[in-house]
Amino acid sequence: MNLWSIARRNLRIRVLSSGLTTVSVALGAGLVAALWLMIAETEQRYRQSYAGYQAVIGPKEGSPLALVLNTVMNRGYAQGIVPMKVYRELHDGRLAKRLGVNYAIPQARGDFYEGFPLVGTTDEWFTKFSRGKDEAGAPVRLALAEGEAWAFDHDAFVRFAEDKAREVEASLGGEPEAAEDHDHDGDGVPDHAPGEHAEPIPAEWRKAVVGAEVARRLGLSVGGVIVPVHGTEDFEHLHDEAASEVVGVLAATGTPIDSAIYVPISMFLSMDKHEAIHLSSPFDDVTADDIRISAIVFDAKNHLAASHLRTEFQNRSDAQVAWPHVEIADLLRLVGNAADVLRIFAWLVVAVAAMGVCVALYNTMNERRREIAIMRALGARRGQILGIVVLEASAVSALGATLGVAFCHVCAFSFRTIVLERTSVALDWAAFTWDEAWLIVGVTVVGGLAGVLPAIKGSTVEVADHLGPTT
């Protein structure tokens, strides 16, 4: 028997009061823990999302943040175009050699299917893009959960670009076709650019690999069909000619990669209304370098490659370079500010709960005067009485905090599917963090401090006055 067992017994005989204060502390601590969990998961997700993107190169128009949001996070719209010339420099040209390129993968964007963006790219997206290294040091490639990836490599892309350039060059040199001939839907806007023939898109290009999230949400699997929709809300156009078969489903990565559909870039650039060629000047010859793409995903062996690129493109007018880790860190700082406000509120709830502990104990002190006087008569020092009451406060707080944290994890466990669906945040409900251990310690200390006031009241009871026969 010791002071602790006395404190425990005191709590137990006031079950209701102890229970209610415990619950209020649990609520506060649970709220803090839940917030931490959400914030940590969100930050984790954002951090994971830029793995593999050392730099992204995109149009000069728009901000680096918009470029990163569009290319890495699948948010917003492409801000403009980059000529293929830049891509070739990065893929196997001058810059590629200088920086020791690991990969430079093109992206063409602008179409959607059921709200998910279509990304036109080459199969290097599946064979070269790497989200980091695994324990063995091997690159972590995108894996397929089902089916297989389509094949359309860099060389095929270059051939496609050259064909396209020739085609456009020929049509510019020849008889211009009447604009009306291309306006099949009669809306006054040509359905395809002059020189583009509404030829059927080859079936080998009409293949799609969908991200895990797309597959899950839309119930897509191998053999499914997607029909791209062009662009914005006020101008939507269904690309029936580009109906593509789903040939593969990517394994989940927990990043925005899961939320896009990947198609051969040739398919993307062959769709109606997609102007594949960007004419820098009507007097120049049209070449493959004029093919327009939206962005390039870049990674090099050289760690300084990203800053070299930045310097390189600072003075060029055809593209800009964005650093995903910097842009996303900036974004997180914004999220962080909002999170701080929430944190303050959560701590306020803890503070209110601590006050509850204080009031609940304080109220018992009058009825406990006699009991305290007896303990004092049995040799208990003021400090020991103080200790017992503070122990009670700390115990209630520690129990409350532990329950709160545990409850938060139980909630995370029970809501993990819903949260995953709504926010695509995969809650790691089983992971107990050091932060949570410190939260429990912190709440225990705060609760213990809240017990000091009632403890002082208790320890100043006049012993002689309360030992006589009960009146």
Q: Contact positions toward other proteins, by CB under 8 A?
A: 1-3, 6, 9-10, 12-13, 370-371, 374-384, 463-464, 467-470
CB of 21 to other proteins, least distance (A): 18
- CB-CB contact of 80 with 96 (8 Å): no
- Using the minimum distance from each CB to other proteins, give the nearer residue, 2 or 232: 2
Give the position of tokens 């901000």: 63
CA-based nearest residue to 193, from 207, 205, 203, 179: 179
Q: Within the chain, what is the greatest distance between any pair of CA atoms?
A: 119
d(C-alpha 222, C-alpha 290), whole Å: 35
d(C-alpha 314, C-alpha 321), whole Å: 8
d(C-alpha 242, C-alpha 50), whole Å: 30
CB of 458 to other proteins, least distance (A): 14
d(C-alpha 155, C-alpha 122), whole Å: 9
Q: Alpha helices, DSSP H only, in 315-433? A: 324-364, 369-377, 382-423
d(C-alpha 286, C-alpha 167), whole Å: 9
- Using the minimum distance from each CB to other proteins, give the nearer residue, 137 or 469: 469
- Using the minimum distance from each CB to other proteins, give the nearer residue, 21 or 270: 21
CB of 6 to other proteins, least distance (A): 7
Give the position of tokens 């800053």: 307
CB of 371 to other proteins, least distance (A): 6
CB of 3 to other proteins, least distance (A): 7
- Using the minimum distance from each CB to other proteins, give the nearer residue, 6 or 412: 6
3-state secondary structure (DSSP) of residue 304: coil
- Using the minimum distance from each CB to other proteins, give the nearer residue, 57 or 375: 375
d(C-alpha 190, C-alpha 25), whole Å: 67
- Using the minimum distance from each CB to other proteins, give the nearer residue, 1 or 341: 1
- CB-CB contact of 3 with 379 (8 Å): no
Instruction: Answer positive or negative: Cα dihedral of 275, 90, 159, 246.
Output: negative
**Which residues, other chains included, contact 240 with Cβ-Cβ below 8 Å and sequence gap of 6+?**
227
CB of 362 to other proteins, least distance (A): 19
Instruction: Answer positive or negative: Cα dihedral of 216, 218, 224, 225.
Output: negative
CB of 467 to other proteins, least distance (A): 6
- Using the minimum distance from each CB to other proteins, give the nearer residue, 178 or 377: 377
- The dihedral over CA atoms of 293, 299, 305, 309, expressed in degrees to the nearest 10, equals 10
- Using the minimum distance from each CB to other proteins, give the nearer residue, 5 or 232: 5
- Using the minimum distance from each CB to other proteins, give the nearer residue, 16 or 378: 378
CB of 379 to other proteins, least distance (A): 2
CB of 20 to other proteins, least distance (A): 19
